[in-house]
Structure 1
Amino acid sequence: MSTPHNSANPGDIAKTVIMSGDPLRAKFMAEHFLENPKQFNGVRNMLGYTGTYQGKPVSVMGHGMGIPSVAIYSYELYHFYDVEQIIRVGTAGCLHKGMDIGDLVVAQGSCTDSNYLQQYHLPGTYAPIADYGLLSRAVDECRAMGIRYDVGNVLSSDIFYDENQDWRKWAAMGVLAVEMESAALYANAAACGRKALTILTISDSLVEAKSASAEERQLAFTNMMKVAFSLV
């Protein structure tokens, strides 16, 4: 059955979904990585496609910007479409010198300034983490492909334009980069016993004058896609 945000029918979506914030990046992946892609969703222009990659069924779909958006789409995929694993590919701003535009970050864990985790009423602070099997395989693939990468904690922030520059405090605790979605994705996966991983491309630096163009963000950051599809 369809949901308010997804017009797919049961069986239209593969067990593995590779997601991106930008639905046009999902369209790019469908056109450049999938064999015989078929669109299953266009509600709110949140494009989704299913095809095969090297003979294996896989879907790609956008999830929008921010924790509320990715939380809705990933929840529905896990709970209503029986998806087993979601691999998010996205961009991030690095918090340390020495990281370059185009480098990958494999998000082992995700800190957050969001209140999303409060819904679970846990007696403490929950630490959302990636599925280790997916993470270790992604690291192996980065090495095999000769791709520059780091592994570690990221910050899923509700704030894009941070007037207080609180990211400096996160950087001091070893957090590698800031993005806006992974904490909710990892929490949703944990809550229903499914798998999730985020692979990020550095698109900006918060400590050096480095930034990628909008076109590069949408079309040029293909290394994270290659690694993601290798995990299907």
Structure 2
Amino acid sequence: MTIHIGAKPGEIAETVLMPGDPYRARWAAETFLENAKLVNDVRGMLGYTGIWNGHPVTIHGSGMGMPSLSIYANELIRDYGAKTLIRIGSCGGMQEKVQVRDVIIAMTASALSTPSSGIFKELNFAPCADWSLLRAAVNAAEAKGVPTHVGGIYSADVFYDERPDLNEQMTRHGILGVEMEAAELYNLAARYGVRALAVLTVSDHLLTGAALPSADRERSFGDMVEIALEAAFAE
């Protein structure tokens, strides 16, 4: 047990999928894992471990924002031995070619600041995905015929931001979408020498104002979870 995770030793798998929403973690575990068992509910942050195609998998919520994800990712890696961590979540599209329901696989994650900024100080460290996971995720998405975009994303440290000028520059420089967690996940993976990736479903669009109806979200998010699982165990 740790301060924020109540799982016993051996109850967390080496492969962890991390949605922000704990209820999405429950949905994904019940939908995609066999014999899913609740292993954490401290502070309402749900984590489940089960089996996918013969492989142990944990699906654990991260909460919203990089500080929250940093707590859970640190403890999952340091105290429970997680080796592969894949963020599965929603994002806002920032390019015209990106459509609602599309999947974005994040090669890099830019940010104004992260919880790791105090370590890097004056250095603008460039956090990026694990290549083996990224390649496998792209292959899985192509095999499924899911509209997919691969490139840079922006991890914002606020949800209700008032920086249209910054969003304009992100779009100008080819950033595909915005979310709130991946940059710190990639920082921690680099620090601890583990694998990390973010596979994201576009749920709304900053340029067009389009948004995914709530009734359609579950079906669309299912593609993202399947891509992440297949990538984690690709040979």
Contact 2:6 2:39 in 1 (8 A): yes
Identify the residue that residue 75 of structure 2 maps to in structure 1.
Answer: 76
Map residues 192-211 of structure 1 onto 2, 5 A cutoff.
192-211=192-211
Contact 2:101 2:202 in 1 (8 A): yes
Identify the residue that residue 152 of structure 1 maps to in structure 2.
Answer: 151
Identify the residue that residue 117 of structure 1 maps to in structure 2.
Answer: 116
The answer for unaligned runs of 5 or more in structure 2 is none
Identify the residue that residue 173 of structure 2 maps to in structure 1.
Answer: 173
Give the Cα separation in 2 of the matches to 1:149 and 1:201.
Answer: 9
Identify the residue that residue 221 of structure 2 maps to in structure 1.
Answer: 221
CA distance 1:148–1:42, shift in 2 (3 Å): same
CA distance 1:8–1:104, shift in 2 (3 Å): same
Instruction: Give the superposition deviation at 1:9.
Output: 1.1
Instruction: Give the superposition deviation at 1:219.
Output: 6.1
TM-score (norm 1): 0.95
CA distance 1:215–1:47, shift in 2 (3 Å): farther
- Give secondary structure in 1 for the equivalent of 2:9: coil
Identify the residue that residue 60 of structure 1 maps to in structure 2.
Answer: 59
Contact 2:101 2:220 in 1 (8 A): no
Identify the residue that residue 125 of structure 2 maps to in structure 1.
Answer: 126
Which aligned runs of 4 or more in structure 1 are off by greater than 3 angstroms? Answer: 213-220
Identify the residue that residue 101 of structure 1 maps to in structure 2.
Answer: 100
- Give secondary structure in 2 for the equivalent of 1:63: coil
The answer for unaligned runs of 5 or more in structure 1 is none
Give the Cα separation in 1 of the matches to 2:208 and 2:72.
Answer: 34
Aligned residues, how many? 231
Give the Cα separation in 2 of the matches to 1:97 and 1:85.
Answer: 32
The one-character-per-residue Cα deviations of 1:21-63 (angstroms, maximum 9, x if unpaired) are 0111110111110001111000111110111001111110110
Give the Cα separation in 2 of the matches to 1:159 and 1:32.
Answer: 31
CA RMSD of aligned residues (A): 1.3
The one-character-per-residue Cα deviations of 1:47-87 (angstroms, maximum 9, x if unpaired) are 10111001111110110000000011001000000000101
TM-score (norm 2): 0.94
Give the Cα separation in 2 of the matches to 1:17 and 1:170.
Answer: 29
The amino acid of 2:205's aligned partner reads: S
Instruction: Give the superposition deviation at 1:163.
Output: 1.8
Instruction: Give the superposition deviation at 1:217.
Output: 4.1
The amino acid of 1:32's aligned partner reads: T
Instruction: Give the superposition deviation at 1:161.
Output: 1.4
Instruction: Give the superposition deviation at 1:159.
Output: 1.8
The alignment status of 1:26 with 2:25, answered yes or no, reads: yes
The amino acid of 2:204's aligned partner reads: D
Contact 2:101 2:203 in 1 (8 A): yes
Give the Cα separation in 1 of the matches to 2:161 and 2:172.
Answer: 17
